[in-house]
Amino acid sequence: MLAVSKEKYLRHGDSIFDEESYEQVLDILKDTLESIDHHTPIKDADYWQYYEAIESFLYGDLNKEEDGEIWGVSNFHSIWESMCLTYIAQTTNPSFLLHLDSKYVSINLLKQLKSYDKIVDLSNKFKLNESYLNPDAVIFSSLINQIRFEETNYKIRENSWNDYGYKTSIQGDKAGNIAYIGQPTGIHTIEKLKEIYPFEQRYGITITERLPQNFYSFWYISEDTIQNDLAAMRDFNHFFYIALEKNITEWDDFVKEILQPLDISCDNHFSWSSSSNVFIHSFFRHLTPKELKEQFVTFTNQILSNIEIIDIKYMSSDYLRDSTKIEEIKRRSVRKQFVYEYLIQKELERRQDKFSNLSIQSSFWLPSYRPDDPNLIEDGETFMDGYIQLKNINFAVLAENYVA
Task: Tell me the pairing of strands 176-180 and 215-218.
Answer: antiparallel
Task: Tell me the pairing of strands 388-394 and 359-368.
Answer: parallel
Element (H, E) at 348: helix 335-351
Of the pLDDT bands very low, low, confident and very high (cuts 50, 70, 90), residue 261 is: very high
Query: Phi, psi (5° rounding) for residue 382?
Result: -85, 160
Note the pTM of the prediction, 2 decimals. 0.62
Strand partners, 93: none
Model confidence pLDDT, tens digit, residues 65-85: 433 333 445 556 777 888 899
Q: Where are the domains of the chain?
A: 6-59, 76-147+313-403, 154-293
CA–CA gap between residue 194 and residue 116 (Å, rounded)? 37
Element (H, E) at 403: helix 395-403
CA–CA gap between residue 3 and residue 288 (Å, rounded)? 70
- Of 178-182, 183-187, 190-194, 354-358, least confident by mean pLDDT is 354-358
Model confidence pLDDT, tens digit, residues 93-140: 888 899 999 888 888 888 888 888 888 889 889 988 878 889 999 998
So what's the pLDDT on residue 71? 41
How many alpha carbons lie under 13 Å from residue 280 in its C-beta half-sphere?
Answer: 18
Number of residues written out for the chain: 404
CA–CA gap between residue 196 and residue 357 (Å, rounded)? 44
Contact at 8 Å (CB) between 362 and 309? yes
- Rounded to an integer, the average pLDDT of 305-324 is 85
Whether 335 has a pLDDT exceeding 70, the answer reads yes
- Torsional class of 386: left (φ above 0), alpha (ψ -120 to 50), beta (otherwise): left
CA–CA gap between residue 252 and residue 263 (Å, rounded)? 15
| Mean pLDDT, the chain, whole residue set | 83
